[in-house]
Amino acid sequence: MSFFLPKLQTKKDIDHIIKTVAERVLVLRFGRDQDPVCLQLDEILSKTAHDLSKMAAIYLVDVDSVPIYTRYFDISYIPSTVFFFNGQHMKVDYGSPDHTKFVGCFKTKQDFIDLIEVIFRGAMRGKLIVHSPIDPRNIPKYELLYHGI
């Protein structure tokens, strides 16, 4: 399903999209096209892209093609989904230590739709961090490992 969504190949493409998408949530899915979990997430993203087109712009980013952003957002697990609004990085409190990205696949299309709606409404009110509407049981669990601290 990833062939239905636009792909960003270079740092320049990503910078341009972050700066130019206005009044909508920018969704960047970092992952690999061949990864089965990424394909599962891509299916959810592509099925909801049309319904959310007034609220969100969804793009795919291959982690191997832009290592600078992979390091910047600390993408150590794929898929990881990062959100922006009017060029501002939006953070979401999922009840986990990392608020900068969603790691893993959404369990349902409705979980993703609800999250985009909450981010959009919060961003329109000027908030930079919002509380996740997703049931904590539907959020993948992982441990952050900090090396060299």
- Predicted local distance difference test score (pLDDT) of residue 119: 96
- Predicted local distance difference test score (pLDDT) of residue 149: 47
Chain Cα centroid distance, residue 116: 10
Cα–Cα distance list, 124 to 27, 51, 85, 118, 130 (Å): 16, 19, 9, 10, 11
Query: What are the tokens at 14?
Result: 């990503």
In the predicted model, is pLDDT for residue 125 greater than 80? yes
Asked if residue 58 lies in contact with residue 31, where contact means CB atoms within 8 angstroms, the answer is no
Those residues with Cβ within 8 angstroms of residue 57's Cβ, 6 or more apart along the chain or in another chain:
17, 21, 24, 25, 26, 27
Mean pLDDT of the 45-60 span: 94
- Indicate left, alpha or beta for 127 from its phi (over 0: left) and psi (-120 to 50: alpha): beta
- Predicted local distance difference test score (pLDDT) of residue 77: 86
Spell out the alpha helix ranges (H) of the chain.
11-20, 36-49, 67-72, 109-124
In the predicted model, is pLDDT for residue 96 greater than 50? yes
In the predicted model, is pLDDT for residue 1 greater than 50? no
Mean pLDDT over the full length of the chain: 89
- Predicted local distance difference test score (pLDDT) of residue 66: 92
Mean pLDDT of the 49-69 span: 94
Regarding predicted confidence, which is higher, 142 or 143? 142
Least confident of 6-15, 23-32, 89-98: 89-98
